[in-house]
């Protein structure tokens, strides 16, 4: 099932593009506007050089990391993405199978096309986190939180950077529509939102989440809360003040507003503002092991993968997702061996040699 020429994440992107309709491909790979932020996300990781140290004694490259007392074999997580059944008939069940095979934490989207309970049954003890979009109906949101608590999810990831849809020109041009067969099943019983004449109707704008809702969520659940979609250092501080247990530096994969900073550029500022009070994760444009190592060198505790997981899923289902994760893990270990990082705490030194002159 794994194509012989799939040796990198870029190969999976290429192979996936041969299998999907133009519409689904535009939904998957597209970004906001003319896609400057989307491009900047990947390009920014490529701009830095990694300064290697040689001839160090190794027994192995230790990729372990710890997030909120949970020991992970590797600093990779499956980021939340909607509607996996658009990409493979087994959808989120295939993704959960791969997550469980590699013991990789999987952040399940509010807009998953499979029920949170069915995904949990498949995950076989691998950490699952639930990505929450606070819904206009607070009681419904509360019941959804109770369901994921009951199903054994270990953390809530509150996404705060997409209160309205970004204007995705590539997707618009393609004529993308969600097919009737694919649905956000966990939102099935959500009462209809307030009727409005336009996206800027006061009733709709009033339903957009605010810091007060973070306080509400903090009261509602004892699960750790990660806030996803932080780019400004002042918001990082505010999030911690509101009880966030962790932050995810993200611009939603360049899908909301064009001209947001690349996450590579934002990360050091967030790390400085957070002062190690909570874990900092990052996503956006991470496509190879040296990107992962660089993110860790800049002070991230782990990284999330968005589109590459869906490229693997499209190409070969669970085996494809597992292979994408394996490739990245292997590339990370090779990058560590070739830069002299015996463990991830040694990564910061590879970004500069200036302290030696």
Supply the residues annotated as catalytic: 252
CA dihedral 308, 335, 329, 342 (to 10 degrees): -150
What is the DSSP pairing of strand 70-72 with strand 76-78? Answer: unpaired
Cβ atoms of residues 257 and 166 within 8 Å: yes
What is the smallest separation between the CB atom of 95 and ligand FNR, expressed in angstroms? 12
> For residue 50, what is the DSSP state?
P
For ligand FNR, give the closer residue by CB, 92 or 340.
Answer: 92
- The yes or no reply on residue 104 touching ligand FNR (CB under 6 A) is no
- The yes or no reply on residue 111 touching ligand FNR (CB under 6 A) is yes
177 labeled part of a ligand binding site? no
Query: Considering only residues 250, 294, 329, 339, which one is a binding residue for ligand FNR as defined by CB under 6 A?
Result: 250
Size of the site for ligand FNR (CB under 6 A): 23
- The yes or no reply on residue 82 touching ligand FNR (CB under 6 A) is yes
- The yes or no reply on residue 85 touching ligand FNR (CB under 6 A) is no
- The yes or no reply on residue 249 touching ligand FNR (CB under 6 A) is no
133 labeled part of a ligand binding site? yes
Cβ atoms of residues 82 and 109 within 8 Å: yes
Cβ neighbour number for residue 328 with a 10 Å cutoff: 24
Strands (E), 15-75: 65-67, 70-72
Task: Return the half-sphere exposure (C-beta side, CA atoms, 13 A cut-off) of residue 333.
Answer: 14
241 Cβ contact partners less than 8 Å away, ≥ 6 residues apart: none
- The yes or no reply on residue 28 touching ligand FNR (CB under 6 A) is yes
> For residue 299, what is the DSSP state?
T
For ligand FNR, give the closer residue by CB, 79 or 340.
Answer: 79
What is the smallest separation between the CB atom of 339 and ligand FNR, expressed in angstroms? 23
- The yes or no reply on residue 171 touching ligand FNR (CB under 6 A) is no
How many residues are listed for the chain in this entry?
357
* Partners of 281 in the β-ladder: 248, 302
What is the smallest separation between the CB atom of 70 and ligand FNR, expressed in angstroms? 20
Annotated binding site for glyoxylate: 27, 133, 159, 168, 252, 255
**Which residues are at the interface with ligand FNR (CB under 6 A)?**
27-28, 41, 79-82, 109, 111, 131, 159, 228, 250, 252-253, 255, 283-286, 305-307
């Amino acid at each position: 099932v794994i194509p012989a020429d799939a040796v990198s994440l870029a190969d999976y992107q290429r192979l996936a593009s041969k299998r999907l309709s133009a519409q689904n491909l535009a939904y998957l790979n597209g970004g906001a506007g003319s896609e400057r932020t989307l491009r900047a996300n990947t390009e920014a990781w490529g701009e830095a050089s990694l300064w290697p140290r040689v001839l160090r004694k190794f027994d192995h490259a230790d990729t372990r990391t710890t997030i909120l007392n949970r020991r992970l074999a590797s600093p990779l997580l499956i980021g939340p993405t909607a509607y996996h059944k658009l990409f493979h008939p087994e959808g989120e069940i295939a993704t959960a199978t791969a997550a469980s095979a590699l013991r990789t934490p999987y952040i399940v989207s509010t807009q998953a096309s499979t029920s949170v309970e069915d995904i949990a049954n498949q995950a076989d003890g691998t950490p699952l986190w639930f990505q929450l979009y606070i819904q206009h109906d607070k009681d419904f949101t509360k019941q959804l939180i109770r369901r994921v608590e009951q199903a054994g999810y270990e953390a809530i990831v509150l996404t705060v950077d997409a209160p309205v849809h970004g204007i995705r020109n590539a997707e618009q041009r393609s004529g993308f529509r969600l097919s009737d067969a694919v649905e956000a099943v966990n939102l099935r019983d959500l009462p209809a939102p307030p009727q409005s004449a336009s996206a800027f109707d006061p009733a709709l704008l009033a339903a957009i989440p605010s810091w007060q809702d973070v306080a509400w969520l903090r009261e509602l659940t004892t699960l750790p809360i990660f806030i996803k979609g932080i780019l400004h250092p002042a918001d990082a501080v505010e999030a911690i003040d509101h009880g966030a247990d962790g932050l995810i530096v993200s611009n939603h994969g360049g899908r909301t507003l064009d001209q947001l900073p690349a996450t590579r550029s934002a990360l050091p500022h967030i790390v400085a503002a957070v002062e190690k009070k909570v874990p900092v994760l990052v996503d956006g444009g991470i496509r190879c092991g040296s990107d992962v190592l660089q993110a860790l060198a800049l002070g991230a505790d782990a990284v999330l993968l968005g589109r590459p997981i869906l490229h693997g899923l499209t190409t070969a289902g669970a085996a494809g997702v597992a292979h994408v994760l394996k490739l990245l893990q292997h590339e990370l270990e090779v990058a560590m061996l070739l830069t002299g990082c015996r463990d991830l705490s040694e990564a910061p030194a590879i970004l500069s040699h200036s302290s030696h002159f």
